[in-house]
Chains A and B, each alone.
Chain A
Amino acid sequence: MTRVLDVRDLRISFPVSGGRLHPVDGVSFSLDRGETLALVGESGCGKSLTSLALLRLVPEPGRIDAGSVIQLGDTDVLALRGEALRRIRGKRIGMIFQDPMTSLNPVFTVGDQIAEGVLAHLPVSKAEAWERARGLLDEVGISDSAARLRAYPHQLSGGMRQRVMIAIALSAEPEILVADEPTTALDVTVQAQILEVLDDLRRRRGMAVLLITHDLGIVAGRADRVAVMYAGQIVEEARTGDLFARPSHPYTQGLFASVPRITGPVTRLTPIRGTVPPPTAWPSGCRFRPRCPQAFDKSELPPELMTVGEGHRMRCWLAEGDGPIGMASVLPSHPERSEGGIP
Chain B
Amino acid sequence: MRHWLLRRTLQAALTLAVAVVLLFLLTHLLPGDPLAREGAGRPLTSVQREALQARYGLDRPLLEQLGTFVGGLARGDLGVSIEYGRPVVGLLAERLPATALLGGTVLVLNFTVGLWLGVRQAVRKGSAEDRWLTTLSLAGYATPSFWLGLVLAGIVGVRWHLLPPAGMRDPLIAGGTLAAAADVLRHLVLPALTLSLVSIAGTMRYQRNAMLETLRLPYIVTARAKGLSERQVIWRHGWRNALFPVLTLFGLWLPILVSGSVFVETVFAWPGLGSLAAAAVNGRDYPLLMGASVLVATIVIVASLLSDVAYAFLDPRVRLS
Q: Which residues of A contact B (CB under 8 A)?
A: 52, 55, 57, 86-91, 94-95, 97, 99, 102-107, 109, 116-117, 120-121, 152, 154-155, 165, 168-169, 171-172
Minimum Cβ distance to chain A for residue B138 (Å): 24
Q: Are B315 and A107 in contact (CB under 8 A)?
A: yes
Q: Lowest 10 A-B CB distances belong to which pairs?
A: A90-B227, A89-B227, A95-B225, A90-B226, A152-B316, A117-B226, A102-B218, A103-B218, A105-B219, A120-B227
Q: Are B222 and A97 in contact (CB under 8 A)?
A: yes
Q: How far is the CA of A121 from the CA of B229 in the complex (A)?
A: 11
105-158 of chain B: CB within 8 A of chain A: none
Interface 1/0s, chain B 219-240, versus A by CB < 8 A?
1011111111100100001001
263-321 of chain B: CB within 8 A of chain A: 314-317, 320
For the complex with contacts A103-B218, A105-B223, A105-B241, 11 further pairs of A-B residues with Cβ separation under 8 Å are A87-B227, A89-B225, A89-B226, A102-B219, A106-B219, A106-B317, A116-B228, A116-B232, A154-B320, A165-B222, A172-B226
Cβ contacts A to B, 9 pairs, < 8 Å: A86-B227, A97-B218, A104-B222, A106-B219, A106-B317, A109-B316, A117-B226, A154-B316, A165-B222
Q: How far is the CA of A154 from the CA of B222 in the complex (A)?
A: 17
With known contacts A87-B227, A120-B226, A120-B227, A105–B237 Cβ distance under 8 A: yes
Q: Are A172 and B223 in contact (CB under 8 A)?
A: no
Most buried by B among A91, A116, A121, A169: A116
Q: Are B226 and A99 in contact (CB under 8 A)?
A: no
Minimum Cβ distance to chain A for residue B53 (Å): 59
Minimum Cβ distance to chain A for residue B141 (Å): 28
With known contacts A97-B218, A103-B218, A117-B226, A152–B241 Cβ distance under 8 A: no
Most buried by A among B221, B227, B229: B227
Interface 1/0s, chain B 191-220, versus A by CB < 8 A?
000000000000000000000000001110
Residue of B nearest to A89 (CB): B227
Minimum Cβ distance to chain B for residue A104 (Å): 6
Among A88, A99, A107, A169, contact of B241 (Cβ-Cβ < 8 Å): A107
Interface size class of B (residues with CB under 8 A): 20 to 34
Which applies to chain B's interface (DSSP): helix, strand, loop or mixed? helix
Residue of A nearest to B244 (CB): A107
Q: How far is the CA of A171 from the CA of B232 in the complex (A)?
A: 17
Q: Are A91 and B227 in contact (CB under 8 A)?
A: yes
With known contacts A87-B227, A91-B227, A105–B316 Cβ distance under 8 A: no
Q: How far is the CA of A103 from the CA of B225 in the complex (A)?
A: 11
Residue of B nearest to A106 (CB): B317
Q: Are A120 and B222 in contact (CB under 8 A)?
A: no
Among A87, A107, A109, A168, contact of B222 (Cβ-Cβ < 8 Å): A168
Contacts of B222 in A (CB 8 A): 95, 97, 103-105, 165, 168
Minimum Cβ distance to chain A for residue B191 (Å): 37
Contacts of B221 in A (CB 8 A): 52, 57, 97, 103
Contacts of B232 in A (CB 8 A): 116
Minimum Cβ distance to chain B for residue A103 (Å): 4
Q: Are A90 and B225 in contact (CB under 8 A)?
A: yes
165-208 of chain B: CB within 8 A of chain A: none
Q: How far is the CA of A86 from the CA of B230 in the complex (A)?
A: 9
With known contacts A99-B218, A152-B320, A155-B320, A107–B314 Cβ distance under 8 A: yes
Q: Are B227 and A172 in contact (CB under 8 A)?
A: yes
Minimum Cβ distance to chain B for residue A66 (Å): 23
Q: How far is the CA of A322 from the CA of B218 in the complex (A)?
A: 48
Among B223, B224, B226, B317, contact of A152 (Cβ-Cβ < 8 Å): B317
Q: Are A103 and B226 in contact (CB under 8 A)?
A: no
Residue of A nearest to B223 (CB): A105
Contacts of A102 in B (CB 8 A): 217-219
Minimum Cβ distance to chain B for residue A92 (Å): 9
With known contacts A107-B240, A155-B320, A88–B219 Cβ distance under 8 A: no
With known contacts A102-B217, A107-B314, A154-B317, A57–B226 Cβ distance under 8 A: no
Most buried by B among A90, A104, A168: A90
Q: Are B241 and A57 in contact (CB under 8 A)?
A: no
Residue of A nearest to B221 (CB): A57
Q: Are A171 and B226 in contact (CB under 8 A)?
A: yes
Q: Are A57 and B225 in contact (CB under 8 A)?
A: yes
Minimum Cβ distance to chain B for residue A276 (Å): 23
Q: How far is the CA of A309 from the CA of B241 in the complex (A)?
A: 53
Q: How far is the CA of A171 from the CA of B225 in the complex (A)?
A: 12
Minimum Cβ distance to chain B for residue A172 (Å): 7
Most buried by A among B225, B229, B317: B225
Residue of B nearest to A114 (CB): B226
Residue of A nearest to B233 (CB): A86
With known contacts A107-B241, A152-B320, A89–B218 Cβ distance under 8 A: no
Most buried by B among A87, A97, A103, A121: A103
